[in-house]
Amino acid sequence: MACGPAPDANVEKGVAQVVAAVGRGATVVCLPELFRTQYFCQSEDHAMFDEAEPIPGPTTERFAAVAKEHRVTLFVPVFERRSAGVYHNATAVLGPDGTLLGRYRKMHIPDDPQFYEKFYFTPGDLGFPTFPVHGGRTGVLICWDQWYPEPARLEALAGAELVFYPTAIGWHPHEKAEFGAAAHDAWETVQRAHAIANGMYVAVPNRVGAEHADVRGHRTDGPGLEFWGASFVADPFGRVIAKASHDREELLLAEVDPREVELVRQHWPFLRDRRIDAYGPITHRWLDPP
Active site residues per annotation:
33, 106, 143
Task: Please give the DSSP secondary-structure letter assigned to residue 278.
Answer: S
Please say which residue, 135 or 217, places its beta carbon nearer to a copy of itself. 135
In terms of DSSP H, where are the helices of 148-175?
149-157
User: Where in 164-193 is the site for a copy of itself (CB under 8 A)?
Assistant: 182, 185-186, 189-190, 192-193
Is the distance from CB of 57 to CB of 78 less than 8 angstroms? yes
How many angstroms from the chain centroid is the CA of residue 281?
Answer: 28
Residues 227 and 267: their CA atoms lie apart, in Å, by: 37
Is the distance from CB of 82 to CB of 123 less than 8 angstroms? no
Q: Tell me the per-residue interface mask from 124 to 143 with a copy of itself, x by CB under 8 A, - otherwise.
A: ---xx-x-x----x------
Is the distance from CB of 52 to CB of 75 less than 8 angstroms? no
The reply on whether position 105 binds a copy of itself by CB under 8 A is no
Please say which residue, 34 or 154, places its beta carbon nearer to a copy of itself. 154
The reply on whether position 154 binds a copy of itself by CB under 8 A is yes
The reply on whether position 283 binds a copy of itself by CB under 8 A is yes
Close Cβ partners of 73 (under 8 Å, ≥ 6 residues apart): 27, 28, 29, 67, 93, 94, 95, 96, 101, 133, 134, 138
β pairing state of 201-204 and 232-234: antiparallel
- Residue selected from 45, 51, 61, 150 as contacting a copy of itself according to rule CB under 8 A: 150
- Residue selected from 68, 148, 180, 243 as contacting a copy of itself according to rule CB under 8 A: 148
Binding site for a copy of itself (CB under 8 A): 107-110, 112, 123, 127-128, 130, 132, 137, 144, 147-154, 157-159, 182, 185-186, 189-190, 192-194, 196-197, 237-239, 268-271, 273-287, 289
